Structure formats: C-alpha cells, structure tokens
Amino acid sequence: MKCKRTTKTVSKLEVVSSKWHLNPVRLFGQKEGLVIHEWPIDPHVISDFDIGVVASFGHLIPKQVIDSFPLGLLNVHGSLLPRWRGASPVNYAIMHGDEITGISIMRIQPYEFDLGEVVTKREVQIHPMETAPQLRQRLSEIGGEEIISCIRKLPMCLMNAKPQPHDGVTYAPKITSDLGVIEFDKMSAKCIYNKFRALYGIVPLMISWMGLRLSLHDVSALDDNLDTELQGLIGITSSLPIKDSSQSASVIPGQVLYSRKGKYLIIGCRENSFLIVRRIAPHRKRPLSAVEFYNGYLSKEQDKALWIFS
C-alpha cells in the first residue's frame, strides 16, 4: 500500500474489507482517505479497475467478481505453494519444523482456495526460535515488497505464471484448540517446542497433572550442554523411574524434574528428549514461574514418582 505515496505505478486504489471495524487494511485505508467497500461487493462497483490484490481475505471470491478485473486477481500467500495451502500456512510451517518457507504470488481462480497459477515466489528462512507472529510480520513485509514488484512488471509476471505441481501438496487448515494438547509419550521436545512457536498467542499448550489442567507459557527444548545438570538431578532423585542409568540422562515421558539452579521445570519427552518450562498456568489462573509452581504445587507432593505430567 505504500506505493500510493511513493510511485506512479498505481493510479487508482480502493479497498474491499470485511465489516470488522478493526481490520488493519480497513484502518489503513481510512487513514489514507481511500474509498472503502464492504464485503460482499457488487461486481459492477469495481468494473473500472485493471487488477485486484488479495491477502488473508478468508472468503471464496465468486467468478463474477474475479472476471470484473481484466488482469484477474493476485493473492499474496504465506507459503511456497503447493506446500501449506489453506488458512494457516505460517503456523503449520513452524509446527512441522520447516526451515524454509516464503511468499507465493498466485492468480486466484474461482471455486477453490490456493490452486491458481503461481506468478512468483520468494524463499524465507525460518529462524529456530521464531514464533508465528514474528514470522507472519516478516512475511507480510516481504509480501508487500513482492506484490509491488510484481505489479511494476505485471505483463512479464503474468506471462511467466506456472501451474502448481501435483507433488508436494500439503494443507494448513484453520487452527483449532485440540492442536494444543500435548502427549509427552508421542512427541519429542523439539516437536512440542515447534508447537509452542506455531500456536503462540492463539492456543496454549495443554497438559494435566493429578486431575489439574495446566497450560505451558514459556518453553524451550533442552540444550545439550545442560545434560550434566540433568544427570545430577536424576542421580540425587532416586525415587524417579529411570529408564537406563548407564546411558545419558533419561526419565519416562511426562516425568518432571525441578532445576533449582536454572529455576525451571524439566519434562521428559519422547526420543529421550527434554523440555524446559519456565512459566506454567493452572486452569483459569495466572501463569506462574517455575519456582512458584514448584513451591505451590510440586513440592507439596512428597512422592516424586508422582511428578508425571500427561
């Protein structure tokens, strides 16, 4: 949208938005004095435009509306299509441990989402500790750059548009609360940490302990250089169900240790991996630090063999 102030590329610009009054695109348009149309829209209202641009719109656009634009509609999608078609590409890329994602500019076709020809792509590396909101912000900025670049050389971009391949198709449906359910015997620490980053600010990671529902609010996968401390914790906690004391530190999935030195909880996960938890919240209560949770809950259970989350 910055092109309105910085270039002659766009001579006329109007906005179609949902009725939600806090829609960021709607707010920007109002601030800039643009004409705002509410969805759904009469195709005749937009009959004098060359091309339309769509980003995170969430509505299937009728063929009659698409055909109102002589050059069609371009969609800015937050993945490298055909990987992660759907409503939540950023979240699923992080959740599945992708190291590379990107932006795809595609031509919208009627009747189905995210199946049109790809006009251009740009790869982006996913940082190991990046959350979905952080990555989405980066992609939104890159997507803005790419769509302006595409419009500036539109004939060439449209001429080079390619159908999406049939191989490598994956789907990213809407995020639901059940994605936050954690099963320590089925998920590695890295898998859980990826879920935390992917669902950050949307769905909390949910576990339970002795009938108490808990949510995890600050987690990370255990760094290898902490293994010595972990061995020590297991060594001084003889009541823990240790899987194999002759090998590297190992407890059963869901087993909880408390690090006084680090002031965090350590939870055993699948594949002999360990999750660090620094903040945890009992159901419908404020998040507690690991120290507060240890003092208020764990320390009151003397039998450490019962320190098992599920």
User: If pLDDT is split at 50, 70 and 90, which confidence band does 252 have?
Assistant: confident
pLDDT of residue 46: 82
Which of these, 94, 74, 75, lies nearest to 84 by C-alpha position?
Answer: 94
User: If pLDDT is split at 50, 70 and 90, which confidence band does 225 have?
Assistant: low
Q: How many beta carbons lie within 10 A of that of residue 36, not counting itself?
A: 14
In terms of pLDDT, which residue wins out, 67 or 249? 67
48 class by beta-carbon count within 10 Å (0-12 exposed, 13-18 middle, 19+ buried): exposed
Q: Considering only 46-55, 74-83, 249-258, which range has the smallest mean pLDDT?
A: 249-258
User: If pLDDT is split at 50, 70 and 90, which confidence band does 95 have?
Assistant: very high
pLDDT at position 246 over 80: no
Q: Considering only 39-43, 74-78, 207-211, which range has the smallest mean pLDDT?
A: 39-43
| Residue that the structure tokens 């055993």 belong to | 268
| Residue that the structure tokens 């099963």 belong to | 183
pLDDT at position 217 over 50: yes
User: If pLDDT is split at 50, 70 and 90, which confidence band does 92 have?
Assistant: very high
Domains of the chain plus CATH, in order, are 40-159 (3.40.50.170), 177-306 (3.10.25.10)
Asked if 104 and 163 touch (Cβ cutoff 8 Å), the reply is no
User: If pLDDT is split at 50, 70 and 90, which confidence band does 239 have?
Assistant: very low
Mean pLDDT within 29-44: 91
The model's pLDDT over 280-304, given as tens digits with 9 standing for 90+, comes to: 999 989 999 999 999 999 999 988 8
Mean pLDDT within 212-231: 80
